Amino acid sequence: MERENQRVVLVTGASSGIGLACATHLAGRGFRVYGTSRRGTGGAPPGTMTGLGSVTMLTADVTEDHSVEQVVGSVLSREGRLDIVVNNAGMAIAGPIENTSIEEAKRQLEVNFFGAFRVCRAVLPAMRRQGSGYIVNIGSIGGVIAIPYQAMYSASKFALEGLSETLRLEVRPFGIRVVIIEPGDHKTGLTQNRQLTEMSGTDVYQESFQAALAQTARDEQGGPGPEQIARLLYRIVNKRNPRLRYTIGPGAQRAAVWLKRLLPNSVLEHGMRTYYGLGG
């Protein structure tokens, strides 16, 4: 068996969507893959191992320090090493900033940003000792270009950009490679599972909020499946020196990321208001 197919992988949020596609794709190529899910299977307690084809599933909640430490410890105890970590666990909250509570904002950041931060802290000692490893964070084009009425989601992904960039600088001397993948809209369960703030549909923002949310849903459900992200992940972890950022998704969205670097902000802002039906 080739060396890359003997490596041990941990994918958070692997029960559906991007995480499931990444976990099963790598497992299908012989990697020893562990995935995490907050709910687990059949009410299994944290750390319990269950089967998902050739992926070993572990119950874990990335918002809890002990749960993350327990899962990482379980993989290391069983395998003796951890070569690739994919921070994918996440959720999305939508609503006007004015009508978003502090508690709702904290919940969004707790999962998408601090969850990845916890996992990174938990796996780094083992990766440093073995002198190698890949940490791949699943960001978003929404972490490069803010999405209207999804401020907290974008904020969590913008924060993940900064964390990834800094971490890459700090751990490269130890042989650890840090990468952030920035997907555009893909067809996953995120559309159906998106949570709305409690006051999101109650006031003057209602019309533009519904228009923006409907456009987001159309883009997501009309986008490609997450399998192309899994194929990109496979290519990344087989590169000796991968880039920091990889943008993937519909061509127009990838072009918008490139244009943001070149165009005045007023031009991009006008395009965003028009596209999402915000007026003004």
Return the C-alpha torsion angle 210, 274, 100, 205, nearest 10: -60
- Reported as type and span, the H/E element at residue 116 is helix 115-130
The torsion angles phi and psi of 86, rounded to 5 degrees, stand at: -115, 110
Known active-site residue 134 = no
Q: Is 79 exposed, middle or buried (0-12, 13-18, 19+ CB in 10 A)?
A: middle
State whether the Cα torsion 275-256-137-151 is positive or negative. negative
Six-digit token string for 135: 């940490």
DSSP code string of 215-248: HHHHHHHTS--THHHHHHHHHHTT-SS--SEEEE
Active-site entry in 134, 153, 205, 246: 153
Give the C-alpha distances (Å, rounded to integers) separating 125 from 32, 86, 133, 248: 20, 16, 11, 30
Residue 59: helix, strand or coil by DSSP?
Answer: strand
Angle in degrees, 0-180, between the axes of helices 115-130 and 65-79, rounded to the nearest 10 = 30
Give the C-alpha distances (Å, rounded to integers) separating 151 from 4, 40, 63, 238, 251: 38, 29, 20, 34, 23
- Name the residues annotated as catalytic: 153
